[in-house]
Structure formats: structure tokens, C-alpha cells
Amino acid sequence: MGQGDGARRATGRDRDGWFALLDAWGAPGRPYREISDWLIGEHDVSRWWAQKLIVEYEQARGLRAPGVRRDGTFEVSASKTAAVPVELLFDAFINARKRKKWLTDGRMSLRASQPDRSARFIWEDGATRVNVGFIDKGPSKSTVAVAHERLPDADEATTTKAMWKKRLAELKSFLES
């Protein structure tokens, strides 16, 4: 299967087809909402596919750097699967004492959580946010996905992504030992 097969199956066109259509319509410079409304309203594309196509189109045309949000900030993500129940994985994030054992590069304060499903944190000085999702994959297997948002630039995004990959590997070792 090629690069555009998922898009073609879901929307009837591959990415190159959508990108050519967006070019002909004059998408560059138009607000995100206007492009989204056009894709959804005129072409019956789902909201999810509209978002995906717009982001990929803007990246392909040099209108948006990878990882950059519409407000100019960056977001990075990382995930890890561990051989532990989701409750233990969740607790390793929520419990500040346990968190300090594997998260040595920064401090987070909890904003909100749904037990064993999600948690939202303020990072250090409050300029950035960390959103965490937890997936139960059985009695002794679970996955955590971290999204760190509102990062100021590409360099900070690169550094932060590398930090999270390292910290999640530490978390896995901590929980599985």
C-alpha cells in the first residue's frame, strides 16, 4: 500500500489529489477554519480528515513546520508500552513521590485527571502543558502517550521530545523492575 491509500479509501482522493485541489481553490493564506469548512461542506470530508489534510498540506507547502500549531507554538509527543496494569502506570504519573523517581528532568503539577485514562499537568513555570493518555491493553500491559504543548520553538520541541523518550524509557524500567 502506498502513502495515499488511507486518504483515498476514506475520502475518495489521495493526498496529491487533495493538495492539487487545495492549490486550485487558493488555500494558502486562508484561515484554517475556512479551509476546514470548505473540505467538510463542499467535499463531505470528516472533521478528522479535514484536520489531517490541512496540516499535511500546510507542511508540504512550507506553510507550517512539523509540530507547529496554528498559534506558532510547537507540540511534541512520545509513547511507551509497559508490562504493568494501567493502574500502576497511571499512579506513576499522578503520585508525585513516584513521579520523582523517573521524571528527573522537570516538575509537573496536576491540573486534572480521569483515573486510569488521562491526566493534564502544568510543566514547571506554567508556560507549557503536558497531556497524558493511558491505554489499558490487558491485565499486565498498558501504554502511556504524552503530548507536551505550547513549546516556544523548534529547538525546544526537539530537546523536549528527546527528554520525553528518555524519561518514558526510565518509567518503563522503573515499573518493570
The answer to whether the pTM exceeds 0.75 is: no
Same domain for 153 and 111: yes
The total number of residues written for the chain in this structure: 177
Q: Does residue 87 fall inside a structural domain?
A: yes
Give one DSSP letter per residue of 26-87, joined into a string: T-TTS-HHHHHHHHHHHH---HHHHHHHHHHHHHHTTSS-TTB-TTS-EEEEEEEEESS-HH
Same domain for 37 and 120: no
Same domain for 56 and 100: no
Query: If we measure between CA atoms, which residue out of 82, 177, 95, 94 comes closest to residue 138?
Result: 82
Q: Is the pLDDT of residue 30 over 80?
A: yes
Same domain for 79 and 36: no
Q: What local confidence, expressed as pLDDT, does residue 1 receive? A: 43
Q: Does residue 65 fall inside a structural domain?
A: no
Same domain for 97 and 32: no
Same domain for 80 and 52: no
Q: Does residue 69 fall inside a structural domain?
A: no
Same domain for 168 and 84: yes
Same domain for 79 and 53: no
Confidence category of residue 37, pLDDT binned at 50, 70, 90: very high
Same domain for 19 and 46: yes
User: How confident is the model over 90-141, as pLDDT tens digits?
Assistant: 999 999 999 999 998 889 999 999 999 999 999 998 999 999 999 999 999 9
User: How confident is the model over 59-90, as pLDDT tens digits?
Assistant: 888 877 666 776 778 888 999 999 999 999 99
Give the residue numbers spanning the domain of 82.
Answer: 74-176
Bridge partners of 82, per DSSP, are 142
Count how many domains the chain has: 2
Q: Does residue 27 fall inside a structural domain?
A: yes
